[in-house]
Chain A
Amino acid sequence: MTSRQTLPHYVDSSRLEHFVNYEILGKSALRVQRWRDQWKLATRQPRPESPLNPPLRCVAYMKEIMSRHYLEGRYASGVRKVAWVTSGAPTEPLQALGYFLVYPENHAALCGVRRNAQSIAEEAEHAGWSRDICSYARTDIGAMLSGKTPAGRIPRPDVLVCCTNICQTVLHWYRVLADYFDCPLVLIDTPFLYHEAHEHEVAYVKRQIEDMIHVAEEIAGKSLDEKRFRDVMANARRGAGLWLEVLNRSQHRPAPMTAFDGFIHMGPIVDMRGEAVTVGYYERMLGELDERIERGIGAIKDERYRVLWDNLPIWFQIGNLSKWLAERGVNVVASTYTYAWGELAPMIDPDRPLDSMARVYLHPILNRSTGHKLDSMKRMVDEFELDGVILHSDRSCKPYSLGQIDQRDRLVKTLGVPALLLEADHSDPRDYAEEQGANRLEAFVETMEART
């Protein structure tokens, strides 16, 4: 098997490189880029032919924040300690210890949006990884082997933190990473919940988080500062709470944003949960949404049908689907996926950080029963006054897709809302038949039309 030495694209940076390229030049260039984006948005000519209203102005800030994060990643290795983490990993102590965090899943999603996930995943497939493995895993393993990434360069990990609250694939995926990078792997095992977590389950996860902190302290060469940790927790709570408010603004008619906007704007809460910049960003976004609501501006020009999206997005189709649906008066106003990063905000307690973290990281939607997800979807249909549900059956994400046939059936039979199972993949375009997908979507829209 390939060893760390044969991955030449993982190189350390010097403090000078980090300072000059990131702190001085990079940040300045990205600020200028943001000004240009803001200017473009402010002077944008009306587009009467577009079914969508202009994008939110705050998108310019979001691009700056996310680009800054990825830019720092290029120069982080050798300057900051780096942790690669799963999307549901308890990262707050790592942030408090000053780690730079890499989310391979987010990176793979970026590859999906940029439409180069397939060519990168093929690098892994050529090295023997099966196409039946999650396309996120294949994309990241492909990026690791080849160095191909739209982010320029990803820093080598000093530690890997894998939490099984999202799926079991990560368990095997991170073992592969640990083998290649020859670095410590911290595994946090979260019992699957068919109920609210029992105290012994909370204690079990809490103990593992404490173990993670010990490993992370040792690698960082410093102890966790309690005050800093509480501050990160407070930011995490505030950021997630704001994100939840942002999403709930789409309960208004017309909804000021689409779930497709949500898929893009969720970047900071996924990658920078616990940072002050994330709190600031969502405050800004919420303000802009309220302004839209006050002026009666919807995300799409003619909102006739309001729809829920279940599962991850089809990253490589976000723009097309958003426009295609908007042309038919369909606004996807809510999604269970974006909600997952906000709905647990009330559980975060900065005064009981470890205990509340254990609870929070036990309760993500993917670590709970299919019945719980069905109840959440039913509640969202009611709260967002929805006319239909699209369940993306994601070939890569088995835990999210499991149970969707029954969930769809119950939604149709008990709530009487049209519900569509759309077979695709979150980032591998080879698993989406565009023509058949469009045909199913058209029939779904016609079924909603027939009800009115």
Chain B
Amino acid sequence: MSAVAAIGIDAGSTTCKLVAVDAEGVIVGSLLEQTEPRVELQVRRMLDELRADLGAQGDVPTVATGYGRKLIKQAARNLTEITCHAKGVFRDLGRGGTLIDIGGQDSKVIQIGDDGRPVDFMMNDKCAAGTGRFLEHTAARLGVPVEDLGKRALSVSEEEPISSTCTVFAESEIISLIARGADPDAILRGLHRSLVGRVVSMARNVGIVPPLMLSGGVAHNEAVRTMIADATSEEVIVPREAQLMGAYGAALLGSAT
């Protein structure tokens, strides 16, 4: 087993991720859990678990990111998700381009230069529409598990357009559509289209420099990937561990210090 060179912690709003890397920057271990209310306690427990699993001894440089990053006392540094996602994705995919990260609480577009540095970014942090929360919220209303959302949305060709740009009002719209007997999968397809429309418009604001890359939990959703590709006419590349990219970037930044 390779020695642990650094650990990255991504204390996100929905999930909490830990990634350990070796001196070559290769992932040697990771953990992912739903975020608990006391994230600092959760991270302490997860860190102990990861270190025990990997047999990590002594001080390991640790960097934290995500919304709860400032609560993580074990981290020597904390950095924003912009820097960490850019670092992780660049290392994993080996190229610059435009990265879309759709997280639970916000979504971001990061333009990564050919040298891996973030050149420009834009965040949607004021409105739940355009974030993972939008899908989560509406999925709950339709009684569909989050992991099935994308598959269900792609299983139909018809689409119920969702005109509300607000998560709360979109929910009211869904209730009306259900009451009118609309197909839940067609509603889901419309919901995905609405989310993608928001994200792509933000990406266009920053300027899409190909290739288009996707990270964050929502990257696992095949409907989001397909619809972003359709809307931009660009190929969408997803790293192998899309959800871990923030923690991976944090670990890489930790091992560099």
Contact B126 A447 (CB under 8 A): no
Contact A442 B80 (CB under 8 A): yes
A405 partner residues in chain B, CB cutoff 8 A:
205
Contact B125 A447 (CB under 8 A): no
Contact B118 A446 (CB under 8 A): yes
Tell whether A436 pairs with B205 under 8 Å between CB atoms, given A442-B80, A443-B121, A447-B121: no
B83 partner residues in chain A, CB cutoff 8 A:
443, 446-447, 450
Question: B117 is contacted by which of A413, A433, A442, A450 (Cβ under 8 Å)?
Answer: A450
Q: A190 to chain B: closest CB distance in Å?
A: 32
Q: A429 to chain B: closest CB distance in Å?
A: 15
Chain B: residues with Cβ within 8 Å of the partner, total of 18
Q: Does A182 contact B (CB under 8 A)?
A: no
A421 partner residues in chain B, CB cutoff 8 A:
122
Residues facing A in B66-90 (CB within 8 A) are: 67, 79-83
Q: Does B166 contact A (CB under 8 A)?
A: no
Q: Does A423 contact B (CB under 8 A)?
A: yes
Residues facing A in B25-81 (CB within 8 A) are: 67, 79-81
A416–B117 alpha-carbon span in the complex (Å): 13
Q: Does B144 contact A (CB under 8 A)?
A: no
B78's nearest neighbour on chain A, judged by CB, is A442
Contact B205 A409 (CB under 8 A): yes
A450's nearest neighbour on chain B, judged by CB, is B117
A441's nearest neighbour on chain B, judged by CB, is B80
Contact A440 B118 (CB under 8 A): no
B121 partner residues in chain A, CB cutoff 8 A:
443, 447
Contact string against B for A residues 377-405, beta-carbon threshold 8 Å, 1 for contact and 0 otherwise: 00000000000000000000000000001
A450–B82 alpha-carbon span in the complex (Å): 11
A436–B79 alpha-carbon span in the complex (Å): 14
A235–B118 alpha-carbon span in the complex (Å): 48
A164–B50 alpha-carbon span in the complex (Å): 64
Q: Does B207 contact A (CB under 8 A)?
A: yes
Q: B103 to chain A: closest CB distance in Å?
A: 12
Q: B199 to chain A: closest CB distance in Å?
A: 17
B120 partner residues in chain A, CB cutoff 8 A:
412, 418-419, 447
Contact A443 B82 (CB under 8 A): yes
Q: Does A44 contact B (CB under 8 A)?
A: no
Q: Does A439 contact B (CB under 8 A)?
A: yes
List 8 A–B pairs whose Cβ atoms lie within 8 Å, in order of A's numbering: A409-B205, A412-B119, A436-B123, A439-B67, A443-B80, A443-B118, A443-B121, A447-B82
